[in-house]
Amino acid sequence: MLEIEMFRHMIYQHTGGIVEYSGDFQCDQTGGCPTHLCWSRTDEIAWLQPYEMAGLTEKQVEKCWRDCARYGFVQCESGKQFNQILKDLGGYELVCQEGLNEEDEKIDVFNDK
């Protein structure tokens, strides 16, 4: 349980800047639990986070958080890197139409020109 709380605390530390979220997808790293890939441009890191609106039980959400904590943080400096991480996780095709939104700019992460 400490692992989850420590991970959540670390996420909280990285949410001072803009955090962007992919659409939800399922991946092996979280045992098929609906998940978002999150990206802090400010800190140039990405991580997985459960999509808690999926109607999961508390136990399922806790397991997903644990799996996300095990995945940890990965370096992510650009939309191109974000795409590759999403591809590696198997979520690229599932959220390809959505892209990311930011307050001052709409980004089609999947068309990184």
Confidence band (pLDDT; 50, 70, 90) for 77?
Answer: very high
Task: For residue 105, give the H/E element and its range.
Answer: strand 105-107
Q: Give the per-residue pLDDT at 38.
A: 93
**pLDDT reported for residue 87:** 86
Structure tokens at 89: 């996780």
> Residue 98: pLDDT band by 50, 70, 90 thresholds?
low
Residue 40 β-bridge partners: 19, 45
Phi-psi region of 91 (alpha: psi -120 to 50; beta: other; left: phi over 0): alpha
Domain ranges of the chain: 2-107
- d(CA 30, CA 77) in angstroms, rounded, equals 23
pLDDT, averaged across the chain: 79
**Given this model, what pLDDT does residue 68 score?**
94
Whether the per-residue pLDDT at 91 is higher than 90: the answer is no
pTM above 0.85, yes or no: no
DSSP sequence for 53-89? GG---HHHHHHHHHHHHHH-EEE--SHHHHHHHHHHH
